[in-house]
Amino acid sequence: MDEELERDERVYLLGEEVAQYDGAYKISRGLWKKYGDKRIIDTPIAEMGFSGIAVGSAMAGLRPICEFMTFNFAMQAIDQIINSAAKTYYMSAGLLPVPIVFRGPNGNATGVAAQHSQCFAAWYGQCPGLKVLSPWNAEDAKGLLKAAIRDDNPVVFLENELLYGVAFEVSEEAQSKDFVLPIGKAKVERQGTSITLVSHTIYVGHCLDAATILAKDIECEVINLRSIRPLDMEAIEKSVAKTHHLVTVEGGWPQFGVGAEICARIMEGPGFNYLDAPVIRVTGADIPMPYAKILEEHSVPQIKDIISAVKQSLNM
Amino acid sequence: MTSKHAKAFYFSIESLWVAAACASPCVQKCDTHRLDDAPPTKSVLTRDDGLKYYRTMQVIRRMELKADQLYKQKIIRGFCHLYDGQEACAVGIEAGINVTDHLITAYRAHGFAYTRGVPVKEILAELTGRRGGCAKGKGGSMHMYAKNFYGGNGIVGAQVPLGAGVALACKYLGTDQVCAALYGDGAANQGQIFEAYNMASLWKLPCIFICENNKYGMGTSVERASASTEYYKRGDFIPGLRVDGMDILCVKEATKFAADLCRAGKGPIVMELQTYRYHGHSMSDPGVSYRTREEIQEVRSKSDPISLLKDRMLSNNMASVEELKEIDVQVRKEIEEAAQFATTDPEPPLEDLCNHIFYNDVPLEVRGTLPWVKLKSVS
């Protein structure tokens, strides 16, 4: 964000606690000190209002980054995201673009219970006019966020609170101020031949851990979606053509989720003919998120669940 | 004074007014809230301006009536919210701001589309869903846009934070432009408007919040919807003006006053325009189940905005009856031609179906109604 604020004067950040508090999760640490009140704006607790203000400012030539403390609170603002931001370029037949990024943590943290733990990937992923991104590691976070800020369209950027504190190795290339990743392209994080694991955000890490455990007998190919919308089906189909088995892993609820969409599309495309087994979706449990640690742990995919799914798919 | 004006320049014996070129009619004093000053009670009206306002209001009036006709013929479909009766608001606001200022409103937007620069034929063709419509037929009645005009918005109240955001951009970019963010008496109870009031006030945004109070939110009268119907005071800590929305000069002076305040860095401000719509809420509402025909007729005969301006111009000898009649004839012709275009222009091509999803982007493939139907979308 610092690099993009420096690069383009029209970029600014607004949200709750982003300025003087350095960000609720410290993501914007140091930015207010560097850029001041004009470009880093603390808002009152008024999501519908400030997201509308952000969208309006984008319509009038600015490039806002609108932070939601979590995407759970963005439900209050979802009308502005969908009806004011996503649809306007189409409704105006190209007269009014809306270059805005909505970002913030998505999905479950730990112990924050039902109202603070929902994954919105499927909800936003359904909407034409939006681009929806879900980074996993530090390179993703940097490259995709810069791409989102530079994109002239509304982008929903789903971060993960649990990943904020995790350090990742970053390549030389990724350290450049112009390191930008393409939107809509998945990445193969681990090559494999036995089975394809497709995931996004923190579960990419879980898949890689599962792959390591299984490595003696099974070579898993792990795909990091990076982009929920557009969804890189080409990458998934290419992998399935090789492995003939597919497991999807996500934290969100099963019904109408990201995995459900992948299943539908695999079935509709060439991938269907390459499958030797039905696609298996590993998802969050179909319940509001409970509080107690043991219950919470059983509400989201664990590494052992991914391993079970792989073995089930391979009939092992 | 130019020779153009001199032609119509003469004295009236009764009032000894220097008439015709220019007049300073009295306008009603506005009620104020938290304001030491108020808009002037005299408005300078030149003949040219008077004729321009008259014509513009007449265009809107006839355009809306034409839309009514086309809707009843089923050539216009879906939603159609007509503005006849409220013309002085749109025309007065436009007279009080600059072309470089910004405006956003809700769905009763055809009048504003016109005052903000969209030609009548493009408005009507958008209503009839043709490729020559200002949104190429993809927006319809509630989604018309132009430079510095951000629609046309279908979700009640959502346009108000958007307007505050436009004002934020004006301030951020260091221009002296303002944004007029319009909403109705029904929308005035939306929570997001109060969120916008708060932030606009905290950040001193150059935003004129304008409530067009036409007394009814769909079928619900203001008394049944609002615990306080003093909409100009609803901004609480924000100064407010209550304005006679049927008098175009009153609207103009109030708007100018509000815009000047905002340009001086003293914004935001709330303006309530007391106005009236002759039609029902939309074309599917006859508009007589919640109000009497007598009430509608009373407004038409005593407060019609076009008649008020016409009477003013005639009594100040600024124009003749024949002249105004000639304008009426021209306007009718213009609307007829526009309607002709709107009913004969072809519908948008199917190739346009998926275009305009993203701006400045590579062409993308969009799924159609069937999995194997891959449609093309260009920016």
The string of pLDDT tens digits covering residues B44-77 is 999 999 999 999 999 999 999 999 999 999 999 9
Which pLDDT belongs to residue B309?
Answer: 97
Q: Is the pLDDT of residue A144 over 70?
A: yes
Length of chain A: 316
Considering only the beta carbons, identify the residue of B146, B150, B191 that sits closest to A48.
B191
Contact A114, A120 (CB under 8 A): no
Q: What is the DSSP string of B22-83?
A: EE--B-PPPEEES-S----SB--EEHHHHHHHHHHHHHHHHHHHHHHHHHHTTSS-S-----
Burial label for B218, CB within 10 Å (0-12, 13-18, 19+), is: middle
Residue A4 is a catalytic residue: no
The alpha-carbon gap from B10 to the nearest alpha carbon of chain A, in Å, equals 47
Measure the CA–CA gap between A113 and A293, rounded to whole angstroms: 10
Identify whether the C-beta of residue B31 lies closer than 8 Å to the C-beta of residue B237. no
Q: What is the pLDDT of residue B25?
A: 83
pTM of the model: 0.95
- In tens, the pLDDT along A176-202 reads 999 999 999 999 999 999 999 999 999
Mean pLDDT of A134-138: 98
The whole-number pLDDT of residue B28 equals 87
Mean pLDDT of B151-171: 97
Contact B172 A62 (CB under 8 A): yes
- Name residue B66's amino acid: K
Say whether pLDDT at B367 is over 90: yes
User: Cβ contact (<8 Å) for B135 and A80?
Assistant: no
* pLDDT attached to residue B58: 98
Asked about A245 being catalytic, the answer comes back as no
- The sheet with strand A246-249 has its strands ordered as A187-190, A220-224, A195-199, A246-249, A280-282
Partner-chain contact B371 A61, CB within 8 Å = no
Which pLDDT does position B12 carry in this prediction? 41
Query: Which residue of A lies nearest to B102 if distances are taken between CA atoms?
Result: A60
Note the pLDDT tens digit of each residue in B253-270: 999 999 999 999 999 999
Please give, rounded to a whole number of angstroms, the shortest distance from the CA of B203 to a CA of chain A.
Answer: 10
Mean pLDDT, residues A100-114: 97
Give the pLDDT mean for A111-134: 98
Mean pLDDT value of segment B175-195: 98
Residue B241 tokens read as: 């003006």
Q: Which position among A16, A47, A161, A189 bears the catalytic label?
A: A47
Confidence of residue B23 (pLDDT cuts 50, 70, 90): confident
CA quadruple B235, B237, B242, B245: dihedral sign: negative
The pLDDT, as a whole number, for residue B233 is: 98
Summarize pLDDT for B79-90 with one digit per residue, the tens: 999 999 999 999
* pLDDT on residue B24: 84
pLDDT at position B20: 64
